[in-house]
Amino acid sequence: MKNRGVGCKDVNLKNNNPSLIIFLISFLMPLSSYAVEIIVNDSVDLSEVSHQQIKSIYLGQQTHWPSGNLIKLFKLPATHKTHNLFVKNTLGLYPYQFNRRWQKLVFSGFALKPSEVSNEQELLDVIAKTPGAIGYIENKIIMEGIRYVVLFKEK
């Protein structure tokens, strides 16, 4: 018989419950590193939006809200952590792909580049003051003039 040491138990991972393992892994991962909140100005009559619609908006394909009002895009700098999370996890692109797409749209005259602000507080302030504005932040902050939009995946 092998010496396994005091208190050691033979563990067979094949017999463990996979959902328990997934739960433990998800519990250990920081949730805030993946959460990006979509915010709009109070003038935008929108309570939920699909991933596809956000992609269409942020890739310059949808330029007007369903009401007919112009969408005013705001974004954080390419080096900002929240911008990278948004582009990768919400748009499904790498930041360089997002930048390249906008360079092509602007150069060809099809769109105006999204307005860039330096930090999340500035983004909140400008969204609150700009009718038709949309943006994204990492953590929810209650503030007059903005509302949060629920992001859902289409089936």
pLDDT of residue 154: 77
* Residue 27 pLDDT exceeds 50: no
* Residue 30 pLDDT exceeds 80: no
**DSSP assignments along 73-126, one per residue:** EEE--TT-HHHHHIIIIIS-S-HHHHHHHHHHHHHHTS-PPPEE-SSHHHHHHH
Contact in structure between 108 and 60 (CB atoms under 8 Å) = no
What's the CATH fold of domain 33-152?
Answer: D-Maltodextrin-Binding Protein; domain 2 (3.40.190)
pLDDT of residue 148: 95
pLDDT of residue 18: 53
pLDDT of residue 34: 57
Mean pLDDT (the chain) is 84
pLDDT tens for each residue of 97-111: 999 999 999 999 888
Domain definitions of the chain by residue range: 33-152
